[in-house]
């Protein structure tokens, strides 16, 4: 078993995309630290806190290519945080002693939190793109199959007919809400952290807030209402969003897995030679991508749980809870990206099988529309009498295996007032989709901005 599955060379691409892992790589993270230090120097030069030549010199050398990672690692083990060891190196790179102006008035958490925000901004761009791809794929499926009948299930049993497009539209509604949530989250999340040792900006005197605003401007971030060193609801909200997204992806994957069972085969994942193959059973076509969608939901949920726990921090600087974020947030993003990527692949190429859906609808010999028959008989026979007759006919069909419509027409009360064609129409699942097609098309119309 690998030590950390989302970073493993064998399993890694299944549990997270390469582009998301790259955002949270060591080199990318250290470059973000350097980006923040350089932006801080430029911001302070703009308002006269440090000399302009110092800002230019620091910006010119703030490249991860210059970092001695062995020294950084060794010093971080001693210090407990990477910023002091990194600033030790950065301050030596500019000529003429200008490196002394690095990290002016900042504290370690200022740099790390702000670098994290920059990472998350990039990561959310990928999450947003995948959500839009999933949304578009589901809209296509919903439109194409708005009236394709299939079995609706409650408690894993046949309930009433629905349309496959309706099922896709219910998935789509959640994905679209996640897209909205993501956009609503960004202003609360994408804010700079620059507050100094205890959050009061005391080291910069009357230039503290000016520096904070200038740094936010340099990085394209917002200005927070107040210091958030130990107020972590923004990051927890983000992990909550990822857990919600992964949960919806897991639900879709779970439904697809159930519909892919050999006994049903209503849909299949896109065919890829060798995908889902068994080492001993050549016939197997396992729902590998859907399984990853479900696994992603379970793993990301646990990261959000950790983030909720890590919110309970002491006073003005956490004594250990902050460290939980270093594991939970990158893991949540990486694993969520694996689930999202699997969902894009599955939904853009889903093999929908209406004939199999029709076959599954007939498994109960028409019993899935027992409600439709009862409601159809009621105007002529009375509701309670219709209910009792249909109930008995259901038992007959279950016992004998004969068709439901035959059992109905064997009842003298029904045969006396109904033609066979009327009973066959009542027992046709395609005639009992309710408002599913209209609901589906109304959703599609609203999201397209149609009146």
pLDDT band at 10 (very low <50, low <70, confident <90, very high): confident
CATH number of the domain at 117, please: 1.20.200.10
Same domain, 392 and 263: no
Same domain, 245 and 391: no
Same domain, 244 and 336: yes
Scanning 311-369, the segments in alpha helix (DSSP H) are 321-348, 354-361
CATH number of the domain at 420, please: 1.10.40.30
> What's the CA angle centered on 306, arms 331 and 28, to 5 degrees?
30
pLDDT band at 278 (very low <50, low <70, confident <90, very high): very low
Residue 334 lies in a domain: yes
DSSP for 2-16 reads -SSGGG-TTTHHHHS
Residue 55 lies in a domain: no
**pLDDT of 279 higher than 80:** no
Residue 84 lies in a domain: no
Residue 210 lies in a domain: no
Same domain, 349 and 392: no
Residue 306 lies in a domain: yes
Same domain, 408 and 259: no
Token pair for 359: 């076959």
Q: Is 278 a catalytic residue?
A: yes
Residue 79 lies in a domain: no
Instruction: Give the residue-averaged pLDDT of 417-435.
Output: 90
In tens, the pLDDT along 344-396 reads: 999 999 999 999 999 999 988 888 999 889 999 999 989 999 899 999 999 99
Same domain, 415 and 445: no
What is the structure's pLDDT at 273? 59
Residue 200 lies in a domain: no
Same domain, 325 and 344: yes
Of 3, 155, 262, 421, the active-site residue reads 155
Same domain, 274 and 328: yes
Same domain, 413 and 272: no
Of 25, 278, 319, 445, the active-site residue reads 278
- For residues 25 and 15, what is the distance between their CA atoms, to the nearest angstrom? 15
What is the structure's pLDDT at 277? 45
Same domain, 148 and 270: yes
What is the structure's pLDDT at 129? 98
Residue 202 lies in a domain: no
Question: 197 — phi, psi (to 5°)?
Answer: -55, -50
Number of structural domains, the chain?
2
> For the ranges 63-67, 72-76, 95-99, which has the lowest average pLDDT?
95-99
Same domain, 260 and 281: yes
pLDDT band at 179 (very low <50, low <70, confident <90, very high): very high
Same domain, 265 and 286: yes
**Which range marks the domain in which residue 449 is found?**
109-191+228-353+435-451
Q: Do 372 and 426 form a contact (C-beta atoms < 8 A)?
A: yes
In tens, the pLDDT along 143-176 reads: 999 999 999 999 999 999 999 999 999 999 999 9
Q: Which residues of 259-294 are buried (b: 16+ CB within 10 A; e: fewer)?
A: bbeeebbbbbbeeeeeebeeeeeeeebebbbbbbbb
């Amino acid at each position: 078993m690998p030590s950390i599955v989302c970073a493993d060379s064998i399993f890694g691409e299944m549990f997270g995309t390469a582009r998301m892992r790259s955002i949270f790589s060591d080199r990318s993270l250290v470059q973000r630290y350097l980006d923040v230090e350089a932006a801080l120097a430029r911001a302070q030069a703009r308002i006269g806190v440090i000399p302009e030549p110092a800002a230019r010199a620091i910006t010119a050398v703030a490249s991860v290519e210059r970092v001695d990672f062995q020294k950084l690692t060794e010093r971080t083990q001693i210090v407990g945080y990477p910023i002091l060891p990194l600033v030790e190196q950065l301050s030596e790179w500019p000529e003429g002693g200008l490196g002394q102006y690095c990290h002016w008035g900042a504290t370690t958490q200022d740099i790390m939190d702000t670098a994290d925000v920059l990472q998350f901004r990039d990561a959310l761009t990928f999450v947003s793109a995948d959500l839009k791809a999933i949304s578009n794929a589901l809209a296509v499926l919903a439109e194409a199959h708005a009236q394709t009948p299939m079995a609706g299930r409650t408690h894993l049993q046949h309930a009433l007919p629905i349309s496959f497009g309706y099922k896709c539209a219910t998935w789509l509604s959640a994905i679209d809400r996640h897209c909205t949530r993501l956009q609503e989250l960004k202003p609360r999340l994408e804010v700079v952290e620059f507050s100094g040792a205890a959050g009061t900006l005391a080291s910069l005197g009357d230039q503290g807030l000016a520096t904070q605003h200038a740094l936010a401007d340099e990085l394209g971030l917002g200005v927070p209402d107040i210091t958030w060193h130990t107020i972590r609801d923004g990051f927890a909200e983000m992990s909550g969003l990822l857990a919600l997204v992964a949960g919806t992806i897991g639900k879709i994957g779970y439904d697809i897995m159930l519909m892919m069972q050999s006994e049903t085969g209503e849909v299949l994942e896109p065919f890829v030679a060798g995908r889902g193959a068994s080492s001993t059973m050549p016939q197997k076509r396992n729902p590998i991508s859907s399984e990853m969608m479900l696994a992603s939901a379970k793993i990301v949920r646990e990261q959000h749980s950790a983030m909720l726990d890590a919110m309970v921090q002491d006073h003005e600087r956490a004594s250990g809870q902050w460290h939980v974020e270093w594991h939970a947030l990158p893991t949540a993003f990486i694993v969520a990206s694996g689930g999202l990527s699997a969902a894009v692949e599955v939904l853009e190429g889903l093999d929908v099988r209406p004939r199999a859906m029709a076959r599954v609808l007939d498994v109960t010999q028409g019993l899935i529309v027992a409600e439709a028959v009862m409601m159809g008989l009621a105007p002529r026979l009375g509701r309670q009498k219709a209910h009792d007759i249909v109930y008995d006919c259901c038992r007959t069909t279950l016992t004998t295996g004969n068709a439901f419509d035959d059992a109905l027409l064997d009842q003298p009360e029904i045969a006396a007032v109904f033609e066979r064609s009327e009973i066959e129409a009542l027992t046709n699942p395609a005639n009992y989709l309710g408002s599913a097609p209209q609901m589906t098309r109304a959703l599609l119309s609203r999201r397209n901005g149609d009146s």
